[in-house]
């Protein structure tokens, strides 16, 4: 709303009858093209169901024994799997979309600024977690903390590098196969799953036992409540940007003089 408000002032000068006719035409043309995304959607839904089962298992084990190694295994295995699949999807989508047209005049400053600011919180959480994990690298908890946070930061960095140009891409002509769209679909659902995990699992003390043992409960609680909301917003806003790419990247844009 902030970006688009008052930019379409010529609409105010249109006759009411013209506005109504244009609105009727637009309603008739409003369609959603879901071609070349069914496999990504199916695998993404399957992944979401798996994440829900993992979260349920995590909360059940926490109630039985918060210090159990199984709690660490479930939480970190889930994140490692999500980050790995999201990383592969990002790379494959970028390779498949390399032949699309890049519009240097297309501006998406607000989205880019929001992604960049929220990614700072994600990197802050990752760096502090890596420091804590490196001090206990000889334990299973420390090793999993190191692997998880390295994958998280690498995936987020590559995804941001992919999002910035992809939001400015369009098809050179109408394409029926839409290369890379199913991977964008799957990446969108991966980010939604990561948003769920960060919201309901990452902030839990049982997930951050290594960090708490190094920094202390009070200091880590303050840091988590600063960095994790930004990390959550990064995942949420990434789904918004990916939905924009999914909708617009494979449409041929009309050149305007």
Please give the Cα distance from 76 to 81 (Å, whole number). Answer: 8
Q: Buried b / exposed e across 15-32, counting CB within 10 Å, b at 16+? A: eeeeeeeeeeeeeeeeee
pTM of the model: 0.84
How many angstroms separate the most distant Cα atoms in the chain? 73
pLDDT given for residue 33 in this prediction: 62
Q: Which residue has the higher pLDDT, 13 or 184?
A: 184
Q: Which of 65-69, 72-76, 154-158, 215-219 shows the highest mean pLDDT?
A: 154-158
């Amino acid at each position: 709303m902030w970006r688009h408000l008052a930019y379409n002032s010529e609409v105010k000068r249109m006759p009411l009858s013209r506005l109504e006719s244009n609105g009727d035409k637009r309603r008739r043309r409003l369609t959603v093209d879901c071609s070349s995304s069914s496999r990504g959607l199916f695998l993404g839904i399957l992944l979401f169901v798996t994440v829900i089962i993992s979260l349920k298992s995590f909360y059940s084990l926490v109630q039985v024994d918060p210090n159990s190694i199984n709690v660490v295994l479930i939480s970190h295995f889930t994140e490692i799997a999500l980050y790995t699949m999201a990383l592969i999807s990002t790379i494959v989508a970028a390779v498949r979309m390399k032949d699309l047209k890049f519009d240097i005049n297309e501006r998406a400053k607000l989205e880019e600024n929001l992604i960049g600011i929220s990614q700072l919180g994600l990197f802050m959480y990752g760096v502090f977690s890596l420091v804590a994990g490196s001090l206990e690298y000889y334990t299973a908890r420390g090793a999993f903390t190191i692997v998880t946070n390295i994958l998280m930061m690498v995936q987020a960095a590559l995804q941001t590098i992919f999002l910035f140009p992809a939001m400015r891409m369009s098809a050179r002509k109408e394409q029926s196969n839409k290369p890379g769209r199913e991977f964008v679909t799957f990446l969108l659902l991966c980010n939604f799953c990561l948003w769920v995990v960060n919201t309901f699992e990452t902030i839990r003390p049982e997930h951050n036992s290594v960090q708490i043992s190094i920094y202390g409960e009070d200091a880590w609680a303050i840091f988590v409540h600063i960095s994790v909301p930004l990390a959550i917003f990064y995942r949420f806003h990434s789904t918004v940007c990916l939905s924009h790419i999914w909708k617009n990247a494979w449409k041929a844009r009309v050149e305007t003089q």
